[in-house]
Structure 1
């Protein structure tokens, strides 16, 4: 069973096998977590993403899917890029959000990663409500069959940290 931990801080500083990037479908960098990972990781990540776009993902990475690249200058070995859904009131897209976590763990297993750091996917500019995003993330990781030993949710601010830690069962 995977061990869940929660940290408030900068995902680009995590010493884990794989860091998950809340990427946009272009894979070519953006704002938020995506921009921070590309800036700190350096040009090797962008070069690897360009190779993916030139080969398998000419139209971009589909929402809910995941793919890995080098981590460049990050203290991790790999970056697993996943594209979260944009939150739409009145349209249940929660399965796509859950797929981001499942597919990222599947890629981590393929890589042999034993520790993975996740951000709160889709809860920034994509507008997903933080409490619901936390519920989906934690439930999905708990229910996923994976060889990963540790999943660390790295949350940027107090509100995100509180929402994710509230998902832990009382001991």
Structure 2
């Protein structure tokens, strides 16, 4: 039985590494591509930031409810909520990239201490959003391979990081939203 669990984990390990490197790399490259500046006639997708901020907020709620579910013995609910949280994160990422490929970057206009708070939150949000990718994937694969002892151990690290990324995504949006050009 352990051989089957090990083979499931080994099967996915290379994908975890590939995705953990490829996703941030592709996002960074696409973040620097502005289709309008390249001469393409595309409309700015300026309606997306409040949508993907809402998705971040919903992700945070889903994560908290998923932890509540597993602590109350509702394993199927927990599993479905975690799959939904991953889907929400993928949707967020797609919208985030689409927005930045069609719109000019918005500069934060606050001054003084609030500026430093904003940049601290933004930088930690960005760094952890990259770091969280392998943690989410490893945690998911541990559950998939029914290594629940290991899943639980890494989930105790993954959950607070992912929750921080989701919540700070909303905070960053709220702080920068007055400076969006409409």
Name the TM tier (shorter chain). under 0.3
Q: Comparing both structures, which one devotes a greater share of its residues to strand?
A: 1
Give TM-score, length-normalised by structure 1.
0.27
Give TM-score, length-normalised by structure 2.
0.25
Choose 1 or 2 for highest CA Rg: 2
